[in-house]
Amino acid sequence: MIRDEKHIPNAVIKRLTKYLTCVQDLLSQGEEWVSSHELAEILSLTSSTVRQDLTYIDFSGISKKGYECRTMITVLSRLLGADIKWNVVVVGAGNLGKALALHEEFARRGFNICGIFDVDKNKIGEKVGKLVVRNLKDMPKMISSHDVDIGIMAVPSMAAQNVADLLIASGIKGLLNLSLTHIIVPRKVAIIDSRVIASLMELTHSIKSKRV
Amino acid sequence: MIRDEKHIPNAVIKRLTKYLTCVQDLLSQGEEWVSSHELAEILSLTSSTVRQDLTYIDFSGISKKGYECRTMITVLSRLLGADIKWNVVVVGAGNLGKALALHEEFARRGFNICGIFDVDKNKIGEKVGKLVVRNLKDMPKMISSHDVDIGIMAVPSMAAQNVADLLIASGIKGLLNLSLTHIIVPRKVAIIDSRVIASLMELTHSIKSKRV
DNA sequence: TAGATTGTTAATCGATTAACAATC
DNA sequence: TAGATTGTTAATCGATTAACAATC
């Protein structure tokens, strides 16, 4: 049987990450099975959405019992790439960059942070946990020699596109953009925005519109 | 004329935050006017989407010239709440919480971080810039006395729902959730997820699916 | 068996894009 | 004026929900 990895819509992928972490929590609490209704309840969704989403993955539930947590975790992990190790560099050794480099949850989730870089002479040489802040110029070498997949960009907006271009030229496969600026990347490079300030603006709009 | 603040879809709000920061950048580069085509180009959108989005806001462009940057910034800022000060507390004084409390961009954007809290005795009393980590127990008082609007949650998944409940009971209006867990909140409270690890999982899936 | 839950189809809903008249 | 660009309508596309037969 040929596995057809059909294209999965972005909205579905976002929810699949939620299913994965949710079911991991449930399993750690001793739940072996979960139904679409339970998942929907926990994640503020409809059971229809849950079942529809799960048709995208190579995995079936069982009538009357629901979905087996262990299997679901295995299949979702493989699909999302949560079952393998990823090498990551952080660019920008400001507060945010350093915090991310120190965040234990990354290692626990398979993201091995193997370098942190900056252009600021005052920051270069600074210790960040087991790492030392290095000159951005040395980054391309590092990316190719250590087979780095992902670049986390915690740099000022002004520098973001240039840093992205350098990462891309060095052969990076995916970027996580934490700056406010929109980054333009070639089709072959994956990029996700995780812009905390933009999220705060969404939040303030939502707060305003709730108090009518 | 009665202003009808129609409901704006979430996808549109997300883009409006991009238009705002983008046009602010353009203005600071001396551009007084911008067209829907330019905006689309910069933000990897279609001009149709840009024009459609801007119908939601109380503001018009001018044929042949486009949109006036200054006015657009004013109107978008007011709509999104970027024109006023917001009081914010950070819960969780781990690396991420501390980094956010120190992040200068927040103050620059009108987010006044007026407290950082934790339950860990070892962290309470620690200095974080001008702030001192305080006991989570003292948070409710702080929220009411300082009229705090927003809580940023940088706590372990296990603690997230409890912390959210405490913030909500204390009268918080909006939450920014940085933990992996989905948080359930009453309708009157606004919540936005900004989960870096979940974003990394989206990214790894995207990387995997690009190398066919 | 009866009942609960999946998997799937069809209907609905919402968001994006295309097209073009209006306008400066 | 001619041309560029908006604002708006209609068409398309995609995502969510409802409904129900199949199944354990």
Residue A159, SS3 per DSSP: helix
Distance between the alpha carbon (CA) of A9 and the C1' atom of C7, Å: 19
Q: How confident is the model over B51-82, as pLDDT tens digits?
A: 999 999 989 999 999 999 999 999 999 999 99
CA dihedral B48, A192, B109, B166 (to 10 degrees): 120
Per-residue pLDDT of chain A (212 residues; tens, 9 = 90+): 233 467 899 999 999 999 999 999 999 999 999 999 999 999 999 999 999 999 999 899 999 999 999 999 999 999 999 999 999 999 999 999 999 999 989 999 999 999 999 999 999 999 999 999 999 999 999 999 999 999 999 999 999 999 999 999 999 999 999 999 999 999 999 999 999 999 999 999 999 998 76
> Residue A177 CB: number of other CB atoms within 10 A?
23
Residue A62 Cβ under 7 A from any strand D atom: yes
- B202 contacts A196? CB cut-off 8 A: no
* Contact between A42 and A22 (Cβ < 8 Å): yes
> What's the whole-number mean pLDDT along residues B46-51?
97
Shortest distance between the Cα of A22 and any Cα of chain B, in A, equals 7
Chain B nearest-CA distance from A143, in A, is 16
Task: Annotate A59-121 with three-state secondary structure.
Answer: CCCECCCEEEHHHHHHHHHHHHCCCCCEEEEEECCCHHHHHHHHCHHHHHCCEEEEEEEECCC
- Determine the Cα–Cα distance for residues B138 and B130; give it in Å rounded to an integer: 18
How far is Cα B9 from Cα B16, in angstroms, rounded to an integer?
11
What is the reported pLDDT for B69? 97
The pLDDT, as a whole number, for residue B211 is 78
The radius of gyration of chain B from alpha carbons, rounded to an integer in Å, stands at: 20
pLDDT at position B45: 97
B52 CB neighbours strand D below 7 A: yes
With contacts defined as CB-CB under 8 Å, which chain B residues touch A150?
A: 200, 203-204, 207
Q: Which of A190, A201, A207 lies nearest to residue B206, judging by beta carbons? A: A190
* pLDDT tens readout for residues B118-172: 999 999 999 999 999 999 999 999 999 999 999 999 999 999 999 999 999 999 9
Chain C bases closer than 7 A to any CB of the protein: 3-9, 14-19, 22-24
Residues B105 and A197 sit within 8 Å (Cβ to Cβ): yes
Q: Which pLDDT belongs to residue A210?
A: 87
pLDDT-above-70 percentage for chain B: 97
The per-residue pLDDT for B6 is: 73
Query: Residue B4: pLDDT above 80?
Result: no
Residue B27: per-residue pLDDT = 97
